[in-house]
Structures are given as C-alpha cells and as structure tokens.
C-alpha cells in the first residue's frame, strides 16, 4: 500500500512513528509538506503536484495538519479525496473539530456532557455572560488558541470582566466556560481509533498552572477510565466524524465533560505514558478500512 503523510516536519515524533509503523508493515510511505503541495482542480483528472512534479497515486493519506494551516491543509486533503485516496480523517471532519464553537454546538446537540459554555461578541454582554456560566472562577478561551495558549483562569468577577473586555477589545472571539474545580487541574486524554478507546492517560498540571497540557509542563500517567468515560470519548469522536481522535475529558461531580476533540493528536505523550503502539494501531486501521473512493462525511453539521 502507498501511504502519504501530510506533515510539515518529518522529524516530529508523531510523524516519525507513523513512518516507522508503516514501513514495519511493508508499506511504501512518503511524507509531504502540505504547504508545498499544489493542486490542479479539474472535473476529469484532479491532481496534486509537489515540488514541481505531478504526484503518483496513493492508496491512503494520513493528515497531520497543524492548526495554523488548517484552511490550506484541508483544501489539499479534499483534493486527495477527489482523487479517490482514502483519508484517515476526512477534511470536513477536521474542519468541524477545529472550529471550537461549532464542535461544542454539535456535541451539545448529541447530548454529550460539556462544561457550561458562553459565547459573546459585544462588551455589553459581559455581565450576563459571567452569570450564565455560574460566575467566577471561570475559564476564558480564545477560539483560535491551541495547546493551552489563549486560555485564562479568572478567579474573581472583576478579573473575569477585565480579561473578557480586553479580548473583545482586540476584536477576537472568546468562549467563557465553567471552571470544574473538582478536576484539580487534571484531565483525561483518550485516544480513539475507529469505535474504540485504544489508550488513555491522565494529564496533571504542574507549578500551580490549571492547564494540564504536556506542552506546558504537565505530567502524564496511565489511567483506567470508566465505561461512561469510554463511551463519551467514542461518541465525541464519532460526532465530529473522526476515525482517529484525541478526546480530552474532565472528571466532574456530574460525570465526564468533553473539553476538546483533537483531530491530529500527538503520539509521544500517550505512547510513553501507556506503552501502547498507537502508530501501529493507526496503520492497522488503515489496512482494514482503506478502499479507493471510500470517503463520506459522517456526523452532522
């Protein structure tokens, strides 16, 4: 099987592991910088060119598209789909999961547990917005933030009002969320492949930071999740239409709450914490499911 990996940096742990896993199973694999790909959009023979050459046919494509290049990256992935190449995650599903507001609305429609969340655009909405999510302490997030960046914990009413006013003054959209105190600065990362959670780890913040992201110094360890948490993670990934996803969950007094569904989850943290061969499981999933032209939009929205 010929497999393309869309990744801007072939030296990244996740990209290297996917290449290794594919080669171990005797597949031909090529890493392509998504920003170096360009397209011939035509009705009869859509094609992709790379570094001056028309590219050969692939059987499957693994998108590892960074948040900063989502728009162009998903356009390239759509072109692969038009050419009949099987995508590990489809372009529509990636776009859906990257839009934080849209993702939360879709999860809410499916009855999946979420922190109480508000969204506003004008400064005169702030007072009601703060009360809507239960008052301080509360979490304020930029819609475009990733890996814990653009996320602020406001512990008082005045602090919450000041931060929200500052963000809105910069003409950026923000989400305001209920702070789940009982989570204790930790969350669960559940790795979903197909209809199963294949690994789970608990991430714990360090140094007084409430954000548990590993990129911000958080620690990770193997964790056993409950059947309800397992079901929530799988339902969240399926709602987005993702075959592979990292689903971040908070443990609250009223059950699991989904924070985010990541369409390009990093493999290093969870492979190290759990000892599981996640890259191999991804390649195995492709082997079982890749069919020419097998592209369909799952979920809604």
229-275 tens-digit pLDDT: 999 999 999 999 999 999 999 999 999 999 999 999 999 999 999 99
Q: Is the peptide bond before 137 cis (omega within 30 degrees of 0)?
A: yes
Delimit the domains of the chain by residue range: 2-96, 117-179, 182-263
Predicted confidence at residue 145, as pLDDT, reads 52
State yes or no: pLDDT of 95 exceeds 90.
yes
| Mean predicted lDDT score pLDDT of the chain | 88
Predicted confidence at residue 299, as pLDDT, reads 41
CATH superfamily for domain 182-263: ATP-grasp fold, B domain (3.30.470.20)
In Å, what is the CA distance from 115 to each residue of 5, 158, 165, 179?
34, 22, 22, 8
Nearest of 87, 61, 109, 53 to residue 236 by alpha carbon: 109
Pick the CATH number of 117-179 from 3.40.50.300, 3.40.50.1110, 3.30.230.70, 3.30.1490.20: 3.30.1490.20
If pLDDT is split at 50, 70 and 90, which confidence band does 208 have?
Answer: low
Predicted confidence at residue 212, as pLDDT, reads 47
Is 0.95 topped by the overall pTM? no
Fold identical between 2-96 and 117-179? Answer: no
State yes or no: pLDDT of 138 exceeds 70.
yes
Q: Which H or E run includes 191? A: strand 186-193
How many percent of the chain have pLDDT more than 90? 62
CATH number of 2-96: 3.40.50.20
What is the torsional sign of CA 245, 146, 275, 287? Answer: positive
If pLDDT is split at 50, 70 and 90, which confidence band does 151 have?
Answer: confident
Name the least confident of 13-22, 111-120, 207-216: 207-216
């Amino acid at each position: 099987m010929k497999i393309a990996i869309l990744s801007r940096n072939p030296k990244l742990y996740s990209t290297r592991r996917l290449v290794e896993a594919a080669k171990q199973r005797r597949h031909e694999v090529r890493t392509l910088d998504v920003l170096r790909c360009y397209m011939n959009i035509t009705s009869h023979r859509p094609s992709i060119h790379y570094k001056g050459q028309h590219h050969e046919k692939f059987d499957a494509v693994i998108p590892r598209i960074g948040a900063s290049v989502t728009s162009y990256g998903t356009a390239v992935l759509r072109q692969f789909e038009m050419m009949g190449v099987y995508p590990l995650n489809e372009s529509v599903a990636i776009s859906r999961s990257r839009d934080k507001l849209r993702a939360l609305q879709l999860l809410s429609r499916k009855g999946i547990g979420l922190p109480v969340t508000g969204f506003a655009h004008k400064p005169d909405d702030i007072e009601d917005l703060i009360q809507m999510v239960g008052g301080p302490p509360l979490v304020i997030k930029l819609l475009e933030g990733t890996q814990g960046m653009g996320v602020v914990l406001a512990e008082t009413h005045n602090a919450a009002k000041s931060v929200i006013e500052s963000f809105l003054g910069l003409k950026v959209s923000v989400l305001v969320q209920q702070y789940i105190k009982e989570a204790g600065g930790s969350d669960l990362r559940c790795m979903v492949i197909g209809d199963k959670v294949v690994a789970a780890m608990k991430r714990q913040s360090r140094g007084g930071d409430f954000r548990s992201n590993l990129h911000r110094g958080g620690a990770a360890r193997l964790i056993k999740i409950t059947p309800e948490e397992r079901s929530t993670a799988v339902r969240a990934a399926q709602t987005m239409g993702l075959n592979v996803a990292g689903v971040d969950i908070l443990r609250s007094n009223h059950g699991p709450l989904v924070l985010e569904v990541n369409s390009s989850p990093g493999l290093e943290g969870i492979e190290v914490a759990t000892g599981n061969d996640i890259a191999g499981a991804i390649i195995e999933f492709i082997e079982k499911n890749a069919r020419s032209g097998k592209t369909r939009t799952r979920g809604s929205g």
